Structure 1
Amino acid sequence: MKVLKLSTQLHKWIALVVGLQVLFWVGGGLVMTAIPIETVRGEHRAVEFQPGPLALAALPGPEEIARRAGVMPVRAELRTTPRGPVWTLIPAAGEPVTVSAATGRPFGPMSAGEASEFARRAYRGEADITEAVLLTTAPEETGRTGPLWRVDFADREKTSLYLSPDTGEVVTRRSGVWRIFDFFWRLHVMDWNDGEDFNHPLIIITTALTLSIVVSGFILLWIRISRDVKMGRATRRTR
């Protein structure tokens, strides 16, 4: 009986402490499995950028580009973007430098009209653009740093496309669906800051306590089943 009493008290009090988080785990798991991850990522609203062929003969060589940009790169990448071909020069130390592959200089400022046009090309749907705004600091939800253009669409998901102010490329997509998913994800991993850390001490301790609830519950179940069986046998014998 001491074991039964101890298990009952342990089960009750630990369940009271971690019960709300267990509810968050189950509820968050339901939300995250019910919403297709493609919808969360906004893939159904994305049009893949189709780069045109690069006219390499008309472009300065990488050595000349590096000289004009004033960068000594250890690696260089050439690609096509909505604003034209660019070189990304990666130095041994410091941030990568992106310049026009035609001039070796950074692109000029991008207007709201350009940002809206590039976003429209990258968007699948008929919704109108409600706003195009240059953000001097990237929002936390983008996982980026530095300035970004945000272009909002009036669709039912409230889709926002974030564009590079240098190249016009879409760096990430966000929506109301993504924000709901992110909210439940943070509850699920118990990281209310950025949702990136899912093996911190708090979740480890809470998981261990939840395991103790399961173990003590099995102990209670076994004790009570055994007691009921014994009582049933005793009843049959007295009859």
Structure 2
Amino acid sequence: MGQQRAMRRFAAWHIWLGWPVGLPILMWTLTGLVMVIKPMEEVRGNHLRKDVAESAIPSDTNISVSLPSDSTDPVRSVTTQVERGETVTRITHMDGTSERFRPDGTKMSPLSEVEARMIVDENIVGGDKIVSSKRFAADEPPSDFRRPVPVWQIGLQDGTHVYVGTQTGAIEAVRTRWWRTFGFMWGLHIMDLETREDTSHPTLILFASLSVIGSLLGCVLLFRRRKGRVRVAA
């Protein structure tokens, strides 16, 4: 008798919990399904990046690059490579900013719109079909980039956004239309549409805990015994 009473109580709890956790569970299942439809490499746009062969630095190149004597920014790395036929030395600082220099030590200006378009054309499939370009400062990154890096946003005909760093001269990110759909679904999945980064906040933990409890109650109720109804012949 006590067991039946407990089972009835569990059934009542299970029904009441179904109201607050039913919608989140459906949302988690739906968003999870959408996010696994396509491979992550395709979501990130890696399939649009061309395999461009690197050029060797000419053997007769004399590189003379040095930091200003009054510079106080710690240096993380110094690299030299050929970019669009020109030898470029890039000094990257610990804060993520970088500077580009020619072999004679002349500092190069930030990447121009024309240069950004050329980089996209050379390195991205469909990069010759550009429909828009816009420059963003480090403190005002676009919603589908979300990194404090100054960039050029190059929009392609298929809706892809290619971000080229104005300081680095490199493709920082490729954002396809599917990536933006993925980002929205991820925000719903973790219940954080604002930053889409907080995976440990009270609302998410609360609904996840309630869902676990509801699932456990459902598992317990699988063993509930039901008395068969006796049919009385007329």
Q: Normalising by the residue count of structure 2, what TM-score does the alignment of the two structures yield?
A: 0.83
Q: CA deviation at 1:153?
A: 0.8
Equivalent residue number for residue 180 of structure 1: 181
1:218 maps to amino acid? C
Other structure's SS at 1:77 match:
strand
Within a 5 Å distance, the mapping from 1:40-55 to structure 2 comes to 40-55=43-58
Work out the CA distance in 1 between the residues paired with 2:6 and 2:101: 75
Aligned equivalents of 1:98, 1:112: Cα separation in 2: 17
Residue 95 to residue 41, structure 1, CA distance change in 2 (3 Å): closer
Give the SS at the match of 2:100: strand
Q: Which structure 1 segments of 5+ residues have no match? A: none
Is 1:147–2:138 an aligned residue pair?
Answer: no
Aligned to 2:10, which of 7, 11, 17? 7
C-alpha distance 69-117 of structure 1, shift in aligned 2 (>3 A): farther
Give, in whole Å, the separation in 2 of the partners of 1:35 and 1:207: 26
> 2:119 maps to what in 1?
118
Report how many aligned residue pairs link the two structures: 224
Q: Which has the higher helix share?
A: 1
Q: CA deviation at 1:216?
A: 1.2
1:213-232 equivalent positions in 2, closer than 5 A: 213-223=214-224, 226-228=225-227, 231=228
Task: Summarize deviations over 1:96-116 as a string: whole Å, max 9, x none.
Answer: 442314243442243322211
Partner of 1:23: 26
Would the alpha carbon gap of residues 52 and 126 (structure 1) be closer, same or farther in structure 2, given more than 3 Å must change? closer
Determine the structure 1 residue equivalent to 2:164: 163
Q: Residues 150, 69 of structure 1: CA spacing in aligned structure 2 closer, same or farther, 3 A cutoff? A: farther
1:55-204 matches, cutoff 5 A? 55=58, 58-61=61-64, 64-67=65-68, 70=71, 73-80=74-81, 81-82=83-84, 84-90=87-93, 96-125=97-126, 128-136=129-137, 137-155=140-158, 158-204=159-205
Per-residue CA deviations over 1:16-51 (Å, capped at 9, x if unaligned) read 111111111100111111122122111121114433
Which letter maps to 2:13? L
The reply to whether residue 36 of structure 1 matches residue 35 of structure 2 is: no
| 2:206 is the counterpart of 1:205 | yes
Tell me how large the CA RMSD over aligned residues is.
2.7
Distance 2:127 2:147 in 1: 28
Q: How big is the shift at 1:205?
A: 2.0
- The 1:187–1:207 alpha-carbon spacing in structure 2 relative to 1, beyond 3 Å, is same
* Aligned partner letter, 1:227: R
Structure 1 residues 113 and 196: alpha-carbon distance in aligned structure 2, compared to 1, 3 A threshold: same
Gaps of 5+ in 2: none
**Letter matched to residue 120 of structure 2:** A
The CA deviation at 1:154 is 0.6
Q: Secondary structure at the match of 1:227?
A: coil
CA contact (8 A) 2:57 2:87 kept: no
| Distance in 2 (alpha carbons) for counterparts of 1:169 and 1:69 | 27
